[in-house]
């Protein structure tokens, strides 16, 4: 069952957004590397890979439904930040924005009665709850520690423990 043109277009847009998300987190990882914070960098690298997998999940959905897949150029993500707190505030704000995108997709899928897309998007809705929560948890810790370099180093070591 080929998705209708509206859903196909929206899913392609989200597919390319997920590739951007991957680039964004990789740019954040690179910034952390430059700050000698390898634990934060590792956390962001894992996040970048997750986002790439999200893109492929949509890609495979479109492929299985014989939809027209359109890969576009990935815009350049920001790469300069003032602090770890600023990076995680940006990451959290971005996840909230992605949740809005997924919710809009879900609304459209329901309106179009595209139940195959609804099933796909249910996974993304649940994933976004997790993405927002884990990003916000780090953000709140960074807010708590303020300017404490020792605490930042402690959190950095903890961040390195994240597994794929």
Q: Tell me the C-alpha distance between 48 and 31, whole Å.
A: 13
pTM beyond 0.85: the answer is yes
Burial 116-151 (b: 16+ CB within 10 A, else e): ebbebbeebeebbeebbebbbebbebbeeeeeeeee
Q: pLDDT at position 20, please? A: 98
- Residues 6 or more apart whose CB falls under 8 angstroms from that of 150 comprise none
Side-chain-side CA neighbours of 79 within 13 Å: the count stands at 9
Looking at residue 83, what is its pLDDT?
97
Task: Provide the residue-wise pLDDT of the chain in tens; the chain has 164 residues.
Answer: 777 999 999 999 999 999 999 999 999 999 999 999 999 999 999 999 999 999 999 999 999 999 999 999 999 999 999 999 999 999 999 999 999 999 999 999 999 999 999 999 999 999 999 999 999 999 999 999 998 999 999 999 999 998 87
CA dihedral in degrees (149, 155, 161, 162; nearest 10)? -120
The residue ranges of every structural domain in the chain are 5-71+81-159
CATH superfamily of 5-71+81-159: Ferritin, core subunit, four-helix bundle (1.20.1260.10)
């Amino acid at each position: 069952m080929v998705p209708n043109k509206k859903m196909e277009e929206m899913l392609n847009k989200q597919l390319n957004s997920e590739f951007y998300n991957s680039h964004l987190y990789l740019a954040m990882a690179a910034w952390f590397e430059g700050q000698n914070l390898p634990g934060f960098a590792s956390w962001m690298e894992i996040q970048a890979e997750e986002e790439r997998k999200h893109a492929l999940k949509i890609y495979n959905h479109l492929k299985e439904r014989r939809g027209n897949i359109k890969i576009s150029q990935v815009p350049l993500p920001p790469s300069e930040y003032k602090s770890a707190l600023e990076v995680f505030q940006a990451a959290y704000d971005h996840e909230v924005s992605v949740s809005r995108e997924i919710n809009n997709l879900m609304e459209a899928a329901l309106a179009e009665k595209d139940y195959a897309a609804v099933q796909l998007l249910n996974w993304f809705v649940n994933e976004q709850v997790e993405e927002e929560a884990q990003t916000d948890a780090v953000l709140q810790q960074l807010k708590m520690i303020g300017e404490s370099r020792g605490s930042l180093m402690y959190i950095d070591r903890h961040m390195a423990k994240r597994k794929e």
